[in-house]
Amino acid sequence: MTNYLRHLFTPHHTNNHKAKVLHLSSLAVLLVLLIVSQLVTLYLPQRYPDILGFASSIPVSRVIELTNAERAKLQLAPLSVDDRLSDAARRKAADMITHDYWAHSSPSGVTPWSFVLAAGYQYIHAGENLARDFSSADSAVAAWMNSPSHRDNLLSSRYQNIGVAVVDGKLGGVETTLIVQMFGAPQTAKKATASTNTLAKPVLAATQSPQPTDEPAPAVDLPDSYPTPTPILDPTVSAVYLSTLNPLLLTKITSFAFAFLVIFILALDWLMVLRNKIIRLSGKNWAHLTFLFTVCLIIILLRPGLIL
């Protein structure tokens, strides 16, 4: 067994003084295994959704907790959860998946505020943040905080309430996880009496601020539920367990593991060559190491999620 491992990982006369794993045929096998593992990771959630869960590591409560934690850093009042805004967020996520679009307004012109009004929430201010394809609530909130317009929504002193929905389904034929944040400030009896015909139109995240209108956003007769998506209302024990099997995270881990394995063997091979003063006419390990270190850095910094 020792001789076999030496043959695989260290320069020796049995492998022409070059680790067998670094031979072109061995690298080709490793590359095929990497491609197969990535394909399996993409296929399993569609064929066996109970094995790999897209939204399993994004509990709604965590998104709200992180949002209020960011507000607390600036000594802003925490947002309280409003069931009507939560319902509006679920309606919006379901509508995006049902009608296959990724935008604040639907192709038919339905705005986010239509979902808010349809859920029974009468607002004086409202806002929306969207995210997709994130593997955790922390990375999604961090992405919002790094975007000026989304950050403004999270940290606005105008808002009092929040509603969040995490829904998985398909957009453009690709499995995805949607996170919808709805923010609002409700109309008070005093403000509603003072102005019955004027309603400030809310500002969308990541879009230009629209001009106020003299008419309130119209309520749209929207269906109460959509059959396609699966909303994640509350975290469960099984969801916490499945969070380690998130496909986006697995794809990143397998890619990093492949690169790290090759880096380790190249470094070991280089050290053995220097130590034993082996003269090699081909192969520049330092160049390969530099390239793979760059690949690993890209993998680590890669953020697959999108915000809107």
pLDDT at 29: 79
**72: helix, coil or strand?**
helix
Same structural domain, 74 and 44: no
- Asked whether residue 166 is domain-assigned, the answer is yes
Distance CA 142, CA 67 (A): 10
pLDDT at 75: 95
Prediction pTM value: 0.59
pLDDT at 253: 76
pLDDT at 198: 41
Domain that holds residue 101: 60-186
Same structural domain, 111 and 167: yes
Same structural domain, 101 and 147: yes
- Asked whether residue 206 is domain-assigned, the answer is no
- Asked whether residue 214 is domain-assigned, the answer is no
Number of structural domains, the chain?
2
Q: Which of 186, 203, 232 is the last residue of a domain?
A: 186
Helix (H) or strand (E) holding 129: strand 123-132
Q: Which residues does the chain have with pLDDT short of 50?
A: 53-56, 189-190, 192-203, 205-244
Same structural domain, 173 and 80: yes
- Asked whether residue 251 is domain-assigned, the answer is yes
- Asked whether residue 228 is domain-assigned, the answer is no
Q: In the numeric block, which tokens belong to residue 118?
A: 């349809």
pLDDT at 104: 93
| SS3 annotation, 170-225 | EECCEEEEEEEEEEEEECCHHHHHHCCCCECCCCCCCCCCCCCECCCCCCCCCCCC
Q: In the numeric block, which tokens belong to residue 70?
A: 């960011």
